Structure 1
Amino acid sequence: MFWKIFLFEVQNRTRRPAVYLYFAAALIFTIGTFATGSLPLGEKQHINSPYIISFWCSAITLMMMLVSSSIMGTALYRDIEYNTKDYYLTYPITKPGYFWGRFLGSFLFMALIATSVVIGAIIGTKLGPIMGWRDAKEYGPNNFMYYFQPFVTIALPNLFFASALFFGLVAFTRNVKVIYAGGILLFLGYFISVFFLNNTNNATVTILADPFGISAVRLLSGSTPSLIKNTTLFPVEGTVLLNRLLWTGIGLVILLFTYFNFTFEKFFSGKR
């Protein structure tokens, strides 16, 4: 049953123009950013250095929070909107198959949209010198690991946390308006919290309290020479590793809590 729900979700997403628009928007934005070098660069730091790619993965996934609210929120709400409760309550569909099929089918597309960051950065590094916007010497080699490591350790955990949060919200509230409003409020709340965290001298607290890892990249970049930032991967260890485990764990707790409290009868009873 899981695979039927999962494949149905995948097929449904491939027919929705919004998915392609989200991908295209993130791709074009990333291409333009890396082609023009509109990034917080240090002296003699490559535009496509591992630290800059790590920063962009954290920043773009923060902006994709609104995309998460849209894609993950509608995964469940669609069944309320189209009043399919009679089908689900009479057909032998299991709770694990329905819940995880919906979540993983939607999260797959969140990950696919996020690949636009990697693709766009690589294209941007080629387009910048061709168009004469930046000198080719300002770019380093396009090493596969420079892109893969930030995507796996920063982008995917960020997307998982946001996806679990919004998926859980729609499961409990059964109201899609709450999801969109929650996405905007969380987005604004993040910047307010970062403003206050920037005024503290405790680097450990600043790093751990940032669910998207932007503060970690910013703090470590400020104390690392450009040569190291150009040639070594962003160090996901120590407090930074703890940050990644902490917020991924919080996302997992939210998701499991939602799953164990989810019932078809309660979910299809109506809006809250």
Structure 2
Amino acid sequence: MKAALLQLNVSDDPAANRVVTVDMVRQAADQGAAFILTPEVTNCVSSTRSHQRAVLQHQDDDQTLAALRDVARARGVHLLIGSLALLTGDPDGRFANRSFLIGPDGGIIATYDKIHMFDVNISETETYCESDGYRPGTQSVVAQTPFAAIGLSICYDVRFTRLADALARAGAHILTYPAAFSAVTGAAHWHSLLRARAIEAGAWVLAPAQTGTHSGPSNSGRRTYGHSLAVDPWGEVILDAGTEPGVYMFDLNLDKVADARRRVPSLDNARDFEGP
């Protein structure tokens, strides 16, 4: 089947971002993609919590979610919304970083809240504390579609092999890692991490990404790495989107999953052991 990764450079304005994203989904569908994936925080990239509180919405009211459900239904495609930043009813006011798998009828097949928060000190001038603004999820998710079982993850989750292993053991043929990856850690680790997850799981790894410098007064020059990747179950990079925003098409051959797992049955060969 044909699939597409959308590489975005979103601002801190959800309304403007929505127009661009919906148009790109239409372009991908018109080029024959039956499965289309968008990056993490498709609706809004912002470094300022006050701005996010002013522009984000609850899931039931989110206009980006509604528009993307509509275009999935109109074009009859499966659509992974990599994630949306959403308001929640949490007492501490933290947001959700939530991925959505949308069916060709526009219905929500599955949702997943990012489990691992990006709390890091990359350098003296670049630090992140995602858990200040977002509350972590607690439930891993494998979603069933007519063409494949899909294990949902988001960005920093890629560094945690136990999650990928659990998804593969639960039957996932595809692991998704939509991202807004730091330019510094992306250059160092992005390709290696995604290829490793594909090889270990014997699964496709699909990672649509944000790219470039993000505009808007609340961003202060925030940069993301780009290089949306499609990696097959043998660890071969089938698609590397580079750094330009756009629609990137590729062939998703799911027969490769069974072939890779037959050749190296590491999921079957794994043994329980006692810790050191």
The answer to whether the superposition gives a TM-score over 0.5 is: no
Q: Which has the higher strand share?
A: 2
TM-score, normalised via structure 2 length:
0.32
Larger Rg: 1
Structure with the bigger RCO (C-alpha within 8 Å, sep 6+) is: 1
